[in-house]
Structure 1
Amino acid sequence: ENKDLIKKIDALKISWSDEKNLIRKTFLIISESNKYKDYMSSSGNSYHADKEIVIKLLKKEISENEVLKNYYEDRSIYWVDDYYAVTMLIIKTIKLFQEDWDEFVPLPSIYKTSDKDGNEDRKFIIELFRKTIIHSREYEQLIDKKTKNWELDRIAVMDIILIKMALAELLEFPNIPVKVTMNEYIELSKLFSTPKSKIFVNGILDKLIVDLNKKNLINKTGRGLMT
């Protein structure tokens, strides 16, 4: 067992000893999935296959597990949103695992570190938040022009927030490709907004990008970043 993980569990005083029923229900959900059955019936074994099945189960059977979601939401209302974010971070961490790692290798940071002076991901999050707030009114006006048949106050608040964040990325972060921003916020709308939000966010962003490009307001540095 990973020593760093054990240390963190001990520090947070995490224990599942009183949640045997929850663990049993979760295991039954996993064991009944086709992914798990296919994996268990497979003749070949490899580290890659083991890692892939864990990631697949996290994406579906864990992230959509109502039993687990209810358990965490009962503990804290903030888990309503955090559940999906934490699931994505777990997947990100597992993807970094290497077969030759032993139990003494520290767990990867949830943020990328670019140098000794700071944390690249953390800086990006803070800067994105700041830019979105600073230009909030300006972005609302851009969105309003593309939603003529909608009243702005009747559009899902989360959709507006996501589109504003996407605009901040498009206009203020020259190293992030347009396509990456587009795909990222469509995915976020699936996780955090209404069932139809992905269509709405996709449509509005597409129109905004066309207009912003015509006005030469999207300036990306690097080959292929404009698409």
Structure 2
Amino acid sequence: MISRRLIRTKILQILYAISRKEDTSLASAEKELFFSLQKAYDLYHLMLLIPVELSKVNEWKIEIARQKLRPTYEDLHPNMRFINNRLIDLLKKNKQLNRYMSENKIGWGGYTEMFRSLFNTVQERDYFQAYMTREKVDFKDDVKVVTTILEQEVPQWADLESALEEMSIFWNDDTDFVLGMALKTIKGMRESDTPDKPLLPMYKTEEDIEFAKKLIRKAILNRDEYYELIRTHSQNWDFDRIALMDLLIMQLALAEIIEFQSIPVKVSLNEYIELAKIYSTENSNNFINGVLDHVVKDLKAQNKIIKVGKGLIET
């Protein structure tokens, strides 16, 4: 589930934090990196529980209506379609999801009101009303209503942003990516799935773990070397006036370009240009691209950038 882009982003954030304090050791930086990646995996499981929590709200509202002094026919014979949603039932029964939430002591306890508010909003949507009133629905319809809620409501759900800020400082920039992974999981579910259906693993391969370890170590240990390369190839700029985030992005990019022989230079450059578009100023990506291009050409001329296997691909 953890992508290399997320790893790069997390390391960039840690480099920024390190630049603000002088006493951070390599060991503590690495520990913080893997803790923050673990928190992203926590958030993945929380995202999968959003439909389950909405189903609980639906059940609660139905029970409240039944307890009225003078319940209507609709109160006593409620529409149970969303409660009986087969996709949500798979999530409720998934052993890995339940075990993970229990072992890591995470969940949506204490946030009932925000789910009630979200469900009230969802109930008014045309797509939800169409789902609830259709004569018959199949598993695809059950999946569709859940994915529509996650795609259309969650990204603009202000209460969620506030809740996640309260729960963990590590989730500030993770929501979009993790929500995408939750949607990928849900869209991959089948009606025939059993409670033993595995969720996405935290890492696709062991190579991603090694990538994270090596990248943060090289970026920190070789900082001065990378800074000197940047200084040499940004002669039209006062090095001391280069924006801190621009400097950190180039520092991290050089660590990857120089130290990872199997990653093509172009792939690395594109990744860090994308990071610059998100975390730096409007024109930073052009500046960063220009400096890195000069550094790479110089290092290649000196045979200091060696690529093998997939790293030789330049397209």
TM-score, scaled relative to structure 2: 0.53
Q: Which runs of 5+ in 2 are unaligned?
A: 1-90, 132-138
- Whole-angstrom distance in 2 between the partners of 1:94 and 1:126: 28
Judge conservation of contact 1:96–1:108 (CA < 8 Å) in 2: yes
Instruction: Choose the corresponding residue for 2:234, options 139, 143, 147.
Output: 147
Q: Counterpart in 1 of 2:177?
A: 88
Q: Is the Cα contact below 8 Å between 2:253 and 2:269 reproduced in 1?
A: yes
Distance (Å, rounded) in 1 between the aligned partners of 2:204 and 2:251: 24
* Greater displacement, 2-11 / 166-175: 2-11
CA displacement at 1:72 relative to structure 2: 2.4
Distance 1:90 1:171, change over 3 A: same
Q: Is the 8 A contact 1:146 1:208 kept in 2?
A: yes
1:28 and 1:148 mapped to 2: Cα distance?
59
Q: How does 1:131-210 map to 2 (within 5 A)?
A: 131-210=218-297
Instruction: Please tell me whether the aligned partners of residues 30 and 61 of structure 1 are also in contact (alpha carbons under 8 angstroms).
Output: no
Q: 1:146 to 1:21 in 2, by over 3 A?
A: farther
The equivalences for 1:37-186 within 5 A come to 50=144, 57=151, 62=155, 67-76=159-168, 78-79=169-170, 82-85=171-174, 87-92=176-181, 94-95=183-184, 98-100=188-190, 101-113=193-205, 119-186=206-273
Once the 2 structures are TM-superposed, how far is the Cα of residue 74 of structure 1 from its aligned partner?
Answer: 3.6
Deviation track 1:161-210 (CA, whole Å, cap 9, x = no partner) reads 22111111111111111222112112223334444433333333233233
SS of equivalent to 2:309? coil
Would the aligned equivalents of 2:154 and 2:160 in 1 still touch at CA under 8 Å?
no
* 1:166/1:185 contact within 8 Å kept: yes
**Larger Cα Rg: Structure 1 or Structure 2?**
2
Which fold has the larger relative contact order, with Cα–Cα distance below 8 Å and residues 6 or more apart in sequence? 2
Q: Is the 8 A contact 1:178 1:226 kept in 2?
A: yes
Residues 262, 309 of structure 2: 8 Å contact kept: yes
Q: Distance in 1 between matches of 2:278 and 2:223?
A: 22
Q: Which has the higher helix share?
A: 2
* Aligned length, in residue pairs: 209
Change (3 A) 1:150 1:61: farther
Is 1:225 the equivalent of 2:289? no
CA shift, 1:146, in A, is 2.8
Q: Tell me, in whole angstroms, the C-alpha distance in 2 between the residues paired with 1:32 and 1:199.
A: 45
Whether the 8 Å contact between 2:249 and 2:272 is mirrored in structure 1 is yes
SS in 2 for 1:84: coil
Percent of aligned pairs sharing the same letter:
34
- Separation in structure 2 between the aligned mates of residue 191 and residue 217 of structure 1, nearest angstrom: 30
- In 2, Cα distance between equivalents of 1:209 and 1:136: 16
1:116 is aligned to: none
Query: What is the distance in 2 between the residues matched to 1:32 and 1:219?
Result: 59
Whole-Å Cα distance in 2 between the matches of residues 195 and 61 of structure 1? 28
Where structure 1 has 5 or more consecutive residues not aligned to the other structure, the ranges are: 114-118
User: What are the superposed Cα offsets for residues 96-138 of structure 1, whole Å, 9 maximum, x if unpaired?
Assistant: 663444431222222123xxxxx22111111111111222111
Q: Residue 132 of structure 1 contacts residue 165 of structure 1 at CA under 8 Å; is this kept in 2? A: yes
Q: Give the root-mean-square deviation of aligned CA atoms.
A: 4.0
Distance 1:32 1:131 in 2: 53
Distance 1:25 1:150 in 2: 52
Give the equivalent residue in structure 1 for 2:45.
none
Equivalent position of 1:11 in the other structure: 103
Correspondence list, 1:18-33, <5 A: 18-23=110-115
TM-score between the two structures when normalised by the length of structure 1: 0.69
